[in-house]
Amino acid sequence: MGMVGAYEVGRGVPPVFDDRTRDACMVVPGIMGSALEDTVTGRTLWGVDLGMLTGALTGEALFTALQANAQEQAADADTARRAPLTRVRATGLLTKPWWLPVFQGLDPYGKAVEVLRTVTPAPEAVEPFPYDWRLAVSYNGAVLARQARAHLERWREQAAAVPGWRAAGEAPPRLLFVAHSMGGLVVRAALEQDPELAADTRAVVTVGTPFLGSAKSVLALNLLHARAKPDRLVRRVQAMAATLPGVHDLLPGYRCLDRGPDIERLTAGDVARFGGSRDLAARSLSEHARHRANGFVLPGHRAVAGEAQPTVQTLEEQRTDHSVVAGRHYAFHVGADGELVRDPATGIPARRDASGDGTVHLPSTRHGTDAVHYVFGQHGTLMCHDEVLRQIRRIALERPQGPHLGDGTGDGPGLETPHLGGTLGQPLTLTVTGLDTPAGVSLSVRSATTGRPGHPLTLRPDPDRTNGALSARFTADAPDLYRVTLNTGRHVPLTQLVLVTPPDA
């Protein structure tokens, strides 16, 4: 009898090895998803101390430090390759829940990293990529391209040196990217800039990535115009956002400005009128036009899309003040000829609710691929969603693709929380959509920082909604970041984060 390793052919039971991917994996977070610090002083700027959001002063100095200066606003891919910026440093992925007005809640990325490490031969195969999300996508794409190449080469050397990690005739490891939200745009930029890296990439998994942009980014820039008396946190967030290339890179490039008889794309002048930067907007919208023209395809792209959540999809200017925009929960259908589909009776563009994950609408998330997996989930909590983690694991192992996790129709439970958060002592309205009855449904709130449970909530039909929504009221007893959880008993529980701050003095 011959021998295979330590097993004698024909005798005993052949060994069964755990399934593992040999690929080098990288986890790329979304906007707000990396902790930042000042490289000169060592002071933490973002993602560690929630007190900067809930404290009485709500971090005025820190929000000022997060604003991008002129050099940071101008930085692009050439800057990253020639003279990388050093004022602010990304120190790691987010490790605790976080929250900002409009952007809302964001869960940490530790579970996604751990899932990948369970299906690789060694933890070193998985590398997180924290980055300065304030800066332009093109800049961070160049940084990622350099780091991904170095990670792949290190892992190939390590894998080749360990007996049994590579079977005879097996191709060397390649790259697998798992990216959330804006992280998918950073991966696209890296692979566009480095075709050799794209050739060494087996698959890219994007979770809630706004390839066509997100209308919510405009609302973040419009905060001061939209509120007659904005509170201190809102003022500081808007002042920061207006300087950040990263926020402007999330601007919608699709037709999103509802002018009644016609739907138009944003212009740089529109963005400046709404509270953003004309120059940063012009660069971002130019990139959208370039992508529409070149049609770059991510290698092995699989998109995970949250659906059924109330999602701002288009914008409408206030009739009495064109510097104020309101988000609308509908989009417009564009035909194969690129023209808007119009209502035959009225001739106006036909409106439809395309659904989404509460931040990114479905057409934007699934743009560029037919390999889409749908889940009922909120944008900022998708990377902790059990079904999303299962999909990441399956794709890493190249499992056969099963049915969609949702039916793609948007007919499921949705959760809506105040996107500007709440003030201590004032009740918050929490809304559940897609359900006809509260029977068998629970809605709970607990502290996201301590786990301390809140008071039981009672869901009732929402008198202000005509589509059968349910709502409950919650009044916090302390400033904190709260996790709202909707459990229907039939779906993976939906969660969202909401911040409650002290009242202004």
- Pick from 157-161, 404-408, 441-445: least confident: 404-408
Q: What is the pLDDT of residues 318-331, one digit of tens each?
A: 888 888 999 999 99
Asked whether the predicted pLDDT for residue 283 surpasses 80, the reply is: yes
Give me the domains of the chain, ranges plus CATH numbers.
Answer: 414-501 (2.60.40.10)
Q: Is the pLDDT of residue 63 over 90?
A: no
Return the closest-CA partner of residue 389 out of 116, 98, 19, 96: 116
Residue 12 pLDDT grade (very low, low, confident, very high; cuts 50, 70, 90): low
pLDDT value for 168: 52
For residue 477, name the pLDDT band (cuts at 50, 70, 90). confident
Contacts of 42 (CB under 8 A, 6+ apart): none
Taking CA atoms, 64 is separated from 37, 45, 224, 243, 279, in Å, by: 13, 10, 16, 10, 20
How confident is the model over 357-376, as pLDDT tens digits?
A: 999 999 999 998 999 999 99
Highest mean pLDDT range out of 136-145, 226-235, 329-338? 136-145
What does the mean pLDDT of the chain come to?
A: 88
Q: How confident is the model at residue 92 (pLDDT cuts 50, 70, 90)?
A: very high
Q: Mean pLDDT, to the nearest integer, of 418-447?
A: 87
Report the pLDDT value the prediction gives residue 234, as an integer from 0 to 100: 87
Looking from the CA of 420 toward its CB, the CA atoms found within 13 Å total: 17
Q: Is 462 exposed, middle or buried (0-12, 13-18, 19+ CB in 10 A)?
A: middle
- pLDDT score recorded for residue 244: 98
- Tell me the pLDDT tens digit for each residue of 205-250: 999 999 999 999 999 999 887 766 668 888 889 999 999 999 999 9
Position 166 confidence tier, pLDDT thresholds 50, 70, 90: low
Chain CA centroid to CA 22, Å = 27
154 has a pLDDT exceeding 50: yes
How far are the Cα atoms of 49, 135, 150, 369 from residue 194, in angstroms, in the given order?
A: 36, 19, 13, 20
The answer to whether 76 and 139 are in contact (CB under 8 A) is yes
pLDDT of residue 466 exceeding 70, the answer is: no
Q: Taking Cα atoms as reference points, which of 131, 153, 155 lies closest to residue 141? A: 131
pLDDT bucket at 3, cuts 50 / 70 / 90:
very low
Mean pLDDT of 16-22: 70
Percent of the chain with pLDDT over 90: 60
The 10 Å Cβ neighbour count of residue 294 is 9
Q: Assign 3-class secondary structure to 275-318.
A: CCCHHHHHHHHHHHHHHHHHCCCCCCEEEEEEECECCCCEEEEE
Can you give the pLDDT at residue 7? 47
Confidence category of residue 57, pLDDT binned at 50, 70, 90? low
Given a cut of 90, whether residue 53 has pLDDT beyond it is no
Residue 344: partners with Cβ closer than 8 Å, 6 or more residues away: none
pTM: 0.88
Dihedral of CA atoms 79, 295, 109, 68 in degrees, nearest 10, equals 30
Phi and psi based region of residue 468 (left: phi greater than 0; alpha: psi -120 to 50; beta: remaining): left
In this predicted structure, the answer to whether residue 421 has a pLDDT above a threshold of 50 is yes
3-class secondary structure, 223: helix
Cα separation, 329 vs 465, whole angstroms: 13
Q: What is the mean pLDDT of residues 303-326?
A: 92
pLDDT above 80 for 49 = no
* Residue 387 pLDDT > 50: yes
